[in-house]
Amino acid sequence: MNPSAVCPPVDRHAHLEGSLDPAWVRARAQERQLAPPAPLEALWRGEAVPFEGFIEAFFFSCRFLRSAEAVRDAVRAAVARLPRADGRARGVDLWVSPHFLVKQSQFLTLDALWRGLDDGIREARAQDVRIAVIIDAVNHFGVDHGHEVLDLVLPEKPAWVIGFSTGGLERVPFRDWAPVFERARSAGLRLAAHAGENGPGANVRDAILDAGAERIVHGVRAAKDPALVDLLADRRIPLDICITSNHALVPDLGAHPLPLFLRAGVRCALGTDDPGVIPCDLPGEWRLARELALTEAELMSLQDNATADAWCMALPPD
């Protein structure tokens, strides 16, 4: 009898800044006599908000990352949401926004950010959890911002920084971002992009063909275009799917397109996205996937893709 698919212990997409536990954020806010913004309270209650409201909520949580210890705590929170290993390799592909934290907001120094990440990653390694860091630039801050991100991180890039991505509001065309992506690629970084989430599905095509992205985060709006779905499948582009986040931030999503993607041969895997802002964990995302009436073969693909395409699994185990 073939074994049944189970939740893989690899979170394919989590943001450091969005991983802080809600109780931790609320406690830090109370210490500073700050009230969480209405969109964050709504998301904590499980309500959907416009993407601009999510950005406000996300930035509120960021303001408490003011020390290496706080950064380490965020890494710990991301690791704590993984299911038990049960003999399987565990890992997190962790998105981090250093320019926003260090330069734009001046919450902490780059050295403190790197030290906090290194401490958290070392702790995770002691638990047999691998973590790869993907540097996240903000699309709507513009192309000059993208170059500033690379100026900041490339001179003394830690070994666990292996990728570059854009996130935020999908306002600046990927063809404009192409020189930034090429510079990141030339520096040895792998390329991903948030696309087809708060922007049109066509952004998925542009991220792949114009910017050279080898991995797409979310991409749910691409489901309405069969040619885009075929592009993802034919090029074997991994697609990071975050079901709870997608329903919270894509109000017109309707039925989640994960079954459509899997049946078309797209290499989907599950992530938590911003689980401290939009509460969820990886076992919960797996349960939601099962509720989409996936076949056992589709669930097995979802399980296997999680590890096969995870960038953290490309890192050496020690």
210 CB-near residues (< 8 Å, 6+ apart): 173, 174, 175, 177, 178
To which H or E segment does residue 259 belong?
A: helix 258-263
- In this prediction, residue 87 carries a pLDDT of 86
Strand extents, DSSP E, 79-230: 90-96, 129-138, 161-167, 190-191, 193-195, 216-218
Contact of 244 with 48, CB cutoff 8 Å: no
- In this prediction, residue 1 carries a pLDDT of 35
Q: How many residues does the chain have?
A: 318
- In this prediction, residue 85 carries a pLDDT of 84
- The rounded distance, in Å, linking the Cα atoms of 125 and 131 is 8
216 CB-near residues (< 8 Å, 6+ apart): 192, 193, 195, 196, 204, 207, 208, 222, 232, 237, 238, 239, 240
- The rounded distance, in Å, linking the Cα atoms of 214 and 260 is 20
Q: By C-alpha distance, which of 194, 192, 172, 173 is closest to 181?
A: 192
Strand extents, DSSP E, 75-181: 90-96, 129-138, 161-167
In the chain, count H helices and then E strands.
Answer: 14, 9
- The rounded distance, in Å, linking the Cα atoms of 112 and 120 is 12
Q: DSSP state, 100? A: I
- The rounded distance, in Å, linking the Cα atoms of 38 and 131 is 32
To which H or E segment does residue 15 belong?
A: strand 10-15
Question: Where are the chain's structural domains?
Answer: 10-314
Sheet with 268-270, strands from edge to edge, namely 193-195, 216-218, 239-241, 268-270
Please identify, in words, the CATH class of the domain defined by 10-314.
alpha beta
For the entire predicted model, the pTM comes to 0.96
222 CB-near residues (< 8 Å, 6+ apart): 195, 196, 201, 204, 205, 216, 228, 229, 232
AA letter at 144: D
**Bridge partners for 15 per DSSP:** 95
pLDDT of the chain along its 318 residues, tens only?
356 899 999 999 999 999 999 999 999 999 999 999 999 999 999 998 998 999 999 999 999 999 999 999 999 999 999 998 888 899 999 999 999 999 999 999 999 999 999 999 999 999 999 999 999 999 999 999 999 999 999 999 999 999 999 999 999 999 999 999 999 999 999 999 999 999 999 999 999 999 999 999 999 999 999 999 999 999 999 999 999 999 999 988 999 999 999 999 999 999 999 999 999 999 999 999 999 999 999 999 999 999 999 999 999 876
- The rounded distance, in Å, linking the Cα atoms of 267 and 46 is 28
